[in-house]
Amino acid sequence: MNTLNTLTTTKPIEDAAAEARPLVEIRRVRKSFGAHQVLRDVSLAVPAGTVTVLLGPSGSGKSTLLGCVNHLESIDGGRIIVDGELIGYRQAGHDIHEMTPKQIARQRRDIGMVFQKFNLFPHMTALENITEAPVGIAGAPRAKAKARALELLDRVGLADFAKHYPAQLSGGQQQRVAIARALAMDPKLMLFDEPTSALDPELVGDVLDVMRELANEGMTMIVVTHEIGFARGVADQVVFMDGGVVVEAGRPEDVIDRPQRQRTRDFLESVR
Amino acid sequence: MTTAPAAPAAPSTAPGAAPGFGAAPESTDDDVRAIPLRRPWRWISAAVVLVFVAGFAYSVFTNPNIDFAAIGQFLVDPRIIDGVWLTLLITFIAMVVSTVLAIVIAAMRLSSNPVLTSVAWFYVWAFRGTPLLVQIVLWGYLGLLYEKLSIGIPFTDIVFWQADTNLLITAMVAGILALTLNQAAYSSEIVRAGMISVDEGQREAAYSLGMSPLYTFRRVLLPQAMRVIIPPMGNETISMLKNTSLLSVIAVLEIYTQATVISSQNLKQVELLIVASIWYLVMTSILSIPQYYLERRYGRGTSRNLPPTPFQRLRQAFASRRPGPEPAPETKAVSAA
């Protein structure tokens, strides 16, 4: 997992030893909001079956970067490749051109995302939240999708809450339903955008447990979080971002316990 | 207040605890009932209002100038009944078409295309800024503006279909047109407010699951917007029903026009106005029933437990001995983690 940032050394695209090619490749991505440049030339690789934690102060661009990976945010330059497929764009000549919403929607099916504010659909029960996309988008038979949803709810410890509406659930329960909802599409990659930041402290543990279990099962995950303990215990790779650039990346024991850069040290000091 | 405050109970607080904290000393003197304030003015004000209401009712029902027999007779007069049906028909058509139009205008207004946005804004500005009565009369005079109406490609000679304006735009069509176009302006603002009320995170969540923009609108955004849209649209429907009476100025035979036509012959103006009013009340009362059920449907998930509908309550009362259906899940939001 320490084969990081070796992207510029052009590797043969044909899959020579499937493990050698990372599942997610972020290459020289740039993005601005107006005059403000949020991402400056960010490159990153996430090997399949590993967990990458993005750390950094607010405004460092880590959440924006996450949004670029499933094209909820467009990019100004560079490339994002998931499982060999260019995300949100197609290559035409030298430049890349944005796809139609329909094509992008097709790509997003394989990338699950969990949000800080859960964003469950309030007019649907927990079960309906989970089955909506498999039935309506992927065309799964309703009975099969329901069985799978109940199985997922059981897995996140909410088997008894299938018929509850989001307003009847606590924050921690809502977030676990949101994880189950994303998993129902059988994604090959899961993105977590500060999944525990909106939770009461006593509810954080349940959500982190679910994520830890998911990581143990071999799910590829990119996690934006301030939970240093989670990063140290679960991450294969920790990336520290600040000011729209990757300041430092490496194994958690290196980045968290022996940070090389002063900026990393200052940040870790402040969240500890 | 006979006894002095009970002597402090034996200090049971742990050593080291600050004095004054922990359980207060208890006394049997404190075991008292708390009696709420009496409010005599409630009774007095209710009595005064009741006297006035009774006086008004008496003055109406004993008034020799009101022919109650005529009211009963004209309430079911075939001309009045025809007027009722026409009123309902116009209301229905105008509301359905204007709502479709309103969704289009709201979508234009919310789009990022500046031309569409400004046209939509101009539409709302023009139709909301002029009196409905003026618009109705204007549409009635459409034949003066355009002798013929045609469908074709603008600025070319290509015409697919053409008709004489006065044959096509009857008073009824002009009336429906006026009500529809005016209502669309108001409804579009309601639809727009509903769309804005949905959290942006909902769209992101839907997109992240692979939903297309159209699917997201239909299954995620619209149902949530409906919760905000339905109550004011209920009001608009009731306003529309009453505004149909304005069509009397272009002689559309809805209920108010029918009532005035009859009263101009038999000179029982007040009686026929009462007849029309009774029918308006009946119609508006009936219209609020679907609103109640629509609000419940789109309120799912917002109030924690919906109260039973009147029908459900009735059924419960009859079937209280039979084992009921599976109860709704309890709302132990946090405790049962």
Average pLDDT of the segment spanning A201-209: 93
Residues in chain A: 272
- The answer to whether B220 touches B206, Cβ cutoff 8 Å, is yes
The ipTM estimated for the assembled molecules is 0.91
As a whole number of angstroms, the distance between CA B37 and CA B49 comes to: 23
As a whole number of angstroms, the distance between CA A101 and CA B253 comes to: 50
Q: Record the pTM.
A: 0.77
Q: How confident is the model at residue B276 (pLDDT cuts 50, 70, 90)?
A: very high
Residue of higher predicted confidence among A1 and B249:
B249
Smallest CA–CA distance, residue B330 to chain A, in Å, is: 9
For the cut 50, the answer to whether the pLDDT of residue A12 exceeds it is no
As a whole number of angstroms, the distance between CA A121 and CA A181 comes to: 10
Q: Note the pLDDT tens digit of each residue in A217-265.
A: 999 999 999 999 999 999 999 999 999 999 999 999 999 999 999 999 9
Q: How confident is the model at residue A18 (pLDDT cuts 50, 70, 90)?
A: very low
What Å distances lie between residue A113 and A116, A211, B245, B323, CA to CA? 10, 12, 55, 43
Other beta carbons within 10 Å of A215: 21
Using DSSP's 3-state secondary structure scheme, residue B141 falls into coil
Per the CB < 8 Å rule, is B328 touching A163?
A: yes
Smallest CA–CA distance, residue B17 to chain A, in Å, is: 28
Per the CB < 8 Å rule, is A136 touching B211?
A: yes
Per the CB < 8 Å rule, is A119 touching B201?
A: yes
- What distance, in Å, lies between the first and last C-alpha atoms of chain A? 26
Residue of higher predicted confidence among B324 and B178:
B178
| Residue B132, burial from CB neighbour count under 10 angstroms (0-12, 13-18, 19+) | middle
Kindly state whether B98 is in contact with chain A, defined as any CB-CB distance less than 8 angstroms: no
Residues 263-282 on B with a CB inside 8 Å of A are none
- Per mean pLDDT, which of A9-13, B19-23, B322-326 is the most reliable? B19-23
Average pLDDT of the segment spanning A77-90: 95
As a whole number of angstroms, the distance between CA B150 and CA B159 comes to: 7
Q: Which residues contact B237 (CB under 8 A, 6 or more apart)?
A: B91, B95, B287, B291
Q: Report how many helices (DSSP H) and strands (DSSP E) chain A contains, helices first.
A: 9, 12
For the cut 50, the answer to whether the pLDDT of residue A10 exceeds it is no
- Res B16: pLDDT: 53
As a whole number of angstroms, the distance between CA B161 and CA B310 comes to: 52
- Res A119: pLDDT: 97
| Residue position matching structure tokens 């500060």 | A194
Average pLDDT of the segment spanning B197-209: 96
Per the CB < 8 Å rule, is B301 touching A203?
A: no
Evaluated on CA atoms A10, A15, A16, A17, the torsion sign reads positive
Nearest to B331 among A111, A119, A168 (CB): A168
Phi/psi for B10 (5° steps) reads: -50, 130
Smallest CA–CA distance, residue B151 to chain A, in Å, is: 34
Q: Note the pLDDT tens digit of each residue in B279-298.
A: 999 999 998 888 888 888 88
Per the CB < 8 Å rule, is B210 touching A173?
A: no
Per the CB < 8 Å rule, is A122 touching B302?
A: yes
- Res B18: pLDDT: 63
Contacts of B336 in chain A (CB under 8 A): 160
Per the CB < 8 Å rule, is B209 touching A166?
A: no
